[in-house]
Copies of this chain bind each other. A is one copy, B any other.
Amino acid sequence: MKIIRVMTVDDHEIVRQGINSFINTQENIRIVGEADSSKSAISVAKTIKPDVILMDLQLEHHHSGIEATEAIKQQIPNCEIIILTSYYQDDYIFPALASGALSYLLKDVSPVDLVDAIVKAANKQTVLSPIVANRILKEHYKPAIDPFISLTEREQAILKLIAQGLNNTEISEQLFISIKTVRSHVSNILSKLQLRDRTQAAVMAWQQGIMS
């Protein structure tokens, strides 16, 4: 079994110590590097090229862990990064994952789960803390509610077609109704949602997650 080379990034030494001391009891995982800042994380990573990095987001009093993640993933694509932090706000989760992190764990994970996540990371498999998974699902499956429900079924159907880029003629053909009827519905939709034109309607539909 190949040994997984891990690096920890956290600005509190005590935290790194805690993680390291536990990880090192594992036979197949070894801590090969540490860093306490964004800058040092990037340079150390470039030197030792670890398989997996445990990265805190909060470094030096601002969340520069994201910048570090982005830089490292760009320069060492094979190195997988696990975010290990205490924050589970959307503001942290989504930028972190967008910056290239593979997994996102909260610091209340059990040591067993942490080891599990490291092993999975070495195999390019994502692990998310339950609360994080929840947030992501909610983000991608926002309930089709809010402004949307004020629309009738027909209007909702037409809005979806607008949000696919169809013009009035195509919508009328798709639904087997006259163009004039489509125009009436579109006008009502825009009026109800307080939007100016079909482009804004399409944008709203995508922003609200109504479209896939």
A interface list, Cβ under 8 A from B: 94, 97-98, 120, 124-128, 130-131, 133-134, 136-137, 139-141, 162-165, 167, 195-200, 202-204, 206-207, 211-212
State in angstroms the CA–CA spacing of A167 and B197 once bound together. Answer: 9
How many copies of this chain sit in the oligomeric assembly?
A: 2
6 further interface pairs, Cβ-Cβ under 8 Å (given A125-B134, A126-B130, A163-B203): A94-B212, A98-B141, A126-B133, A128-B128, A139-B140, A165-B195
State in angstroms the CA–CA spacing of A187 and B139 once bound together. Answer: 33
Contact A196 B212 (CB under 8 A): no
Main secondary structure on A side of the interface with B: helix
Contact B139 A133 (CB under 8 A): no
Contact A141 B202 (CB under 8 A): no
Please tell me which one of the listed residues B98, B125, B200, B207 contacts residue A130 in the complex, with CB atoms under 8 A apart: B125
In the assembled complex, 23 residue pairs joining A and B whose CB atoms fall closer than 8 Å, in A order, are A97-B137, A124-B134, A125-B133, A126-B134, A128-B128, A128-B133, A133-B133, A136-B136, A140-B140, A162-B199, A163-B203, A165-B195, A165-B199, A165-B203, A165-B204, A167-B197, A167-B199, A198-B199, A202-B202, A202-B206, A206-B206, A206-B207, A206-B211
Given contacts A140-B140, A141-B97, contact A203 B120 (CB under 8 A): no
State in angstroms the CA–CA spacing of A198 and B196 once bound together. Answer: 14
List chain B residues, Cβ under 8 A from A141: 97-98
List chain B residues, Cβ under 8 A from A211: 206
State in angstroms the CA–CA spacing of A204 and B162 once bound together. Answer: 12
List chain B residues, Cβ under 8 A from A133: 125-128, 133
Q: How far is the CB of A199 from chain B (nearest CB, A)?
A: 5
State in angstroms the CA–CA spacing of A206 and B204 once bound together. Answer: 11
State in angstroms the CA–CA spacing of A197 and B69 once bound together. Answer: 37
List chain B residues, Cβ under 8 A from A131: 125
